[in-house]
Structure 1
């Protein structure tokens, strides 16, 4: 038995691990590299293993850094099953097809430039059709149900609390009469986050593969986060402007809508028009609404007392371009939630064009903003932004609320590991080197854990 690490080693994207047991090859995650253009070009590299030899594929959740190369796997000839939670299968139907559309669009733009220069044309990483074809190979599962996916490999998914359908992956591996239990954390959720349950606590493992995204920091409390949100909304109301919220379409958007219901009276939200201006965000919200079986107790109660956990009386779902353009005719009293979460594209940029130069407008940043993104420049206090070649002055008040995260922080990761009763060895993945190193030291000294920081192509005997 062994596991090879082909992604998310010293970085947070491109998750990909190959487990070999009993002459079977199990691929765990098939994620896309995200970040700089130089980084992303490696998505077209050949897989570092023989696709024809794969017996099964497992993905922990729908984010593209865990699923984004699945269509390429199918293109290369894999026609076996892709095991995941039912809600993840539903989200992948949205996210992989959208990813294919983006790759096609980027290839068209690049080829226009190449044609003018007389250069060879390029093919998209994969198309919407290829992404759609991938969906037929998904087999959706429920939490806590053991399934033998091939000889010597039993799979159980546990709730990770990260996004809807996210899973901790338990694998019971048997070879030559010996059995070992491998537990892969996937992306662990932020404790007490809205809607979803806290991550399931596994009690025993022979090896733990654990994410380390925020291994070097602590999150602000949820109470302080919601208090600040309420104060910003009250201030914006007094200044009679619009509120713009760039939000990730899966997870963050749904958390906001849910909390708007919780604080509807307190924040006097009935005085606003609320818009979800994101076709993909609307589809993802429908998936969240469909899978109430994964809600925490509070969300279950909210669903019973309302028509649904997102059923705001003044919420307008904006799917069409025409509807989105009409929103920009509103100068006051609108709360607009739109993608993209880092302001790198999508409809939020159009709303910036019509609002960000207004002194009574407000921008609320509710997610991580990577270096080099428009969102990061706003967080850093830029006075001007460039929108489609036009310089636009930033007069709006920009608020950054730091308590939002779909990932466990350092203490959450330590608490989850300490829930194991036998202190199993740990392999850290899915974290930048500094965060990973800090968490490794904490695990060694506070938990007396045997810790390895995974490196690319490292092979660990189980």
Structure 2
């Protein structure tokens, strides 16, 4: 069993969540967020650390997005349409896939149209990016390829938020993203099966 972790964002900082885990030879990017407090290159994860050649399609097995907040999904159109990643992207069905483009377009309008900042990605980029997304239901087990299996669990943070389980061979892990264990009037507490994990990454 071999597990390696590359933290591209949200390590000792709030925002820009992006963690690449290599598990028995499979590389998974968990979240692809932006840092809302930065206006230069520090806004996005340093994707060059994944592949110096820029060949992200061979460098990654898949990308997984836990929920629609910009610190978790905000860099995704840039990564797909500007950097060129075209591999599989997974997120939950109607809440995350439906709300992510709305959040991204609202952000683009505020930063470009109102503040006059340089455009990092266009409305068309957002549309094309979302066409690459494979939507999942909670607790749906998906075989990404012959070796990699993933499954989302209810995270309770916002509507559609999911913790993701991944398994490759004898190695199992969970990446929680943001989660909430306190139910309120709108959302219940996070729920997950009892699992025997080799790695847990949590916020």
How many angstroms apart in 2 are the aligned matches of 1:190 and 1:207? 20
Query: Which structure 2 segments of 5+ residues have no match?
Result: none
1:42 corresponds to: 42
Could you report, residue by residue, the CA deviation over 1:185-219 in whole angstroms, capped at 9, with x for unpaired residues? Answer: 111125121222210144222211111xxxxxxxx
Q: Is the Cα–Cα contact under 8 Å of residues 104 and 126 in structure 1 kept in the other structure?
A: no
Note if 1:85 corresponds to 2:76: no
Q: Is the Cα–Cα contact under 8 Å of residues 20 and 30 in structure 2 kept in the other structure?
A: yes
1:100 corresponds to: 108
Note if 1:166 corresponds to 2:161: yes
Q: Is the Cα–Cα contact under 8 Å of residues 103 and 125 in structure 1 kept in the other structure?
A: no
CA gap of 1:36–1:16, structure 2 versus 1, over 3 A, is closer
CA gap of 1:206–1:183, structure 2 versus 1, over 3 A, is same
Could you report, residue by residue, the CA deviation over 1:312-334 in whole angstroms, capped at 9, with x for unpaired residues? Answer: xxxxxxxxxxxxxxxxxxxxxxx
How many angstroms apart in 2 are the aligned matches of 1:146 and 1:170? 9
Match of 2:79, SS state, is helix
2:73 corresponds to: 67
2:9 corresponds to: 7
Runs of at least 4 residues of structure 1 off by over 4 A? Answer: none
Match of 1:133, SS state, is helix
Q: Give the alignment's TM-score, normalised by structure 2.
A: 0.86
Match of 2:98, SS state, is helix
Q: Give the alignment's TM-score, normalised by structure 1.
A: 0.39
How many angstroms apart in 2 are the aligned matches of 1:190 and 1:138? 28
Note if 1:185 corresponds to 2:180: no
Match of 2:130, SS state, is helix
Note if 1:145 corresponds to 2:140: yes
CA gap of 1:49–1:103, structure 2 versus 1, over 3 A, is farther
How many angstroms apart in 1 are the aligned matches of 2:114 and 2:15? 20
Match of 1:124, SS state, is coil
Whichever structure has more helix as a proportion of its residues is 1
Q: Is the Cα–Cα contact under 8 Å of residues 175 and 200 in structure 2 kept in the other structure?
A: yes
How far off is 1:106 after superposition?
5.4
How many angstroms apart in 2 are the aligned matches of 1:6 and 1:44? 9
Q: Is the Cα–Cα contact under 8 Å of residues 16 and 45 in structure 2 kept in the other structure?
A: no
Q: Determine which structure has more spread, i.e. the larger CA radius of gyration.
A: 1
